[in-house]
Amino acid sequence: MPLNRRRFVVLSGFALGTATLGAACSQSISQSIAQLADSSSGQTTPSSAPSSSAPSSSASSPSPNAPTAALPEPGTPIPGTPIAPANLYAPPRGDIRLAVISDFNSEYGSTDYRPEVISGIRLLPGWQPDLVLCGGDMVAGQSISLSTAEVKAMWNAFDAKILTPIRDANLPFALTIGNHDASSFQQGGEFIYVIDRQETSQYWAGHQTDTDLNFVDATGFPYYYSFTHKDIFYLTWDASSANVPPEQVAWAERALSSPQAQNAKLRMVMGHLPMYAVSQRRDRPGEYLNQADELRQLLERYNVHTYISGHHHAYFPGKVGNLNTLHLGALGSGPRSLLSTNNAPFQTLTIMDVFVDTASTVYTTYNMNTMEVVDLQSLPRQIVGPNGRELRQDVTLADLTPAEKAQPYIPSET
């Protein structure tokens, strides 16, 4: 949402074949999304995609004297097992599975959510994720005309329709604050959206334990904090406006250099605004982070694997320098097209499978309008924006043609 108001599978750095996934994972569009959610929540189905869609593996016969591997506890998902709600493409599970959603608010002050949001939340248990990550904009604030009662009502609706189903499914929930939740934009050293900040702080003060997170530092929760989950260290900062406060940048450096972070197998950072612009009418100043290169270099210095963001309402798995970027599409209102493309926008939900030993990730992103998997090849090989170039994660600079290397930035608004 503006700041001034208010079929794809990719292995990190390697694309998996998906040309035939549409037939494998599609269902009749005439079947309502709500009916699908009601009938399949919590169910799993084996993958119907061709074997070329999954990483191949081979193993020699074990020695008779080899130690026997410990069996997982009953009900523990086994890596490599295809898991998804019924009638959807089921990606093979990684060592860790994350369900990643963002931007599911509607018009200002709304206490309702689009059918794709309700469906996505109901379907979450069917993928059996270890953790749900939210890229922000959970409610529809950022309007000075909204009263305290109206903002409180939005958070109550979020609690009933979003957080309670997630909590009832025993899924840990991590969030970053979006501009429509509680924008950090200030004038004269004061927050513009004071009611948003107050009500957001009050709501999450009463629901911090509902996240079921293993906090390392929750001093600034819900605006900035860190936690560990399994073998990953997570950090979220307040990117609800274009400036991450300098004191938070210093805090982030201390956190990322800490033993808890550096001893983890992977590190991930989450903030609502992206570092680099990727979507149409989001490529003007204020819609992406200031000092993007400096922030990226900070994350690279501490070997952060992925920066996860929302706000641009367009799905793109990118890479800048040594940092992977996951731009989340909107699950709710206002999906957008990527820069320099003519493709129609659509709502998305992403499943991220993490393979710890190889420090790699596989994204399976569903078009929530059709329930098909987004095809990697339907996304541009690169996006050239006002403050930098992002390559698709399976593309390197050496892969670009001379014409692509010379591609200029073309503003989406003139």
Length of the chain: 414
Under 8 Å between Cβ of 86 and 45? yes
Parallel/antiparallel/unpaired status of strands 266-270 and 372-373:
unpaired
Q: Three-state SS for 210?
A: helix
Question: Checking phi first, is residue 303 left (phi over 0); if not, alpha (psi -120 to 50) or beta?
Answer: left
| Radius of gyration, CA atoms only, the chain | 21
In whole angstroms, what separates CA 76 from the centre of its chain? 24
Q: H or E segment at 384?
A: strand 382-385
Buried/exposed code over 264-286 (b: 16+ C-beta within 10 A; e: otherwise): bebbbbbbbbbbbbbbbbbbeeb
Report the alpha-carbon distance of residue 402 to residue 413 in Å, rounded.
26
What structural domains does the chain harbor? 8-41+83-405 (3.60.21.10)
Report the alpha-carbon distance of residue 231 to residue 261 in Å, rounded.
10
What are the pLDDT tens digits along the chain (414 aa)?
A: 444 433 334 444 433 434 333 333 333 333 444 444 444 433 333 333 333 333 333 333 333 333 333 445 556 789 999 999 999 999 999 999 999 999 999 999 999 999 999 999 999 999 999 999 999 999 999 999 999 999 999 999 999 999 999 999 999 999 999 999 999 999 999 999 999 999 999 999 999 999 999 999 999 999 999 999 999 999 999 999 999 999 999 999 999 999 999 999 999 999 999 999 999 999 999 999 999 999 999 999 999 999 999 999 999 999 999 999 999 999 999 999 999 999 999 999 999 999 999 999 999 999 999 999 999 999 999 999 999 999 999 999 999 999 999 999 999 986
Burial (CB count within 10 angstroms: exposed 0-12, middle 13-18, buried 19+), residue 377 = middle
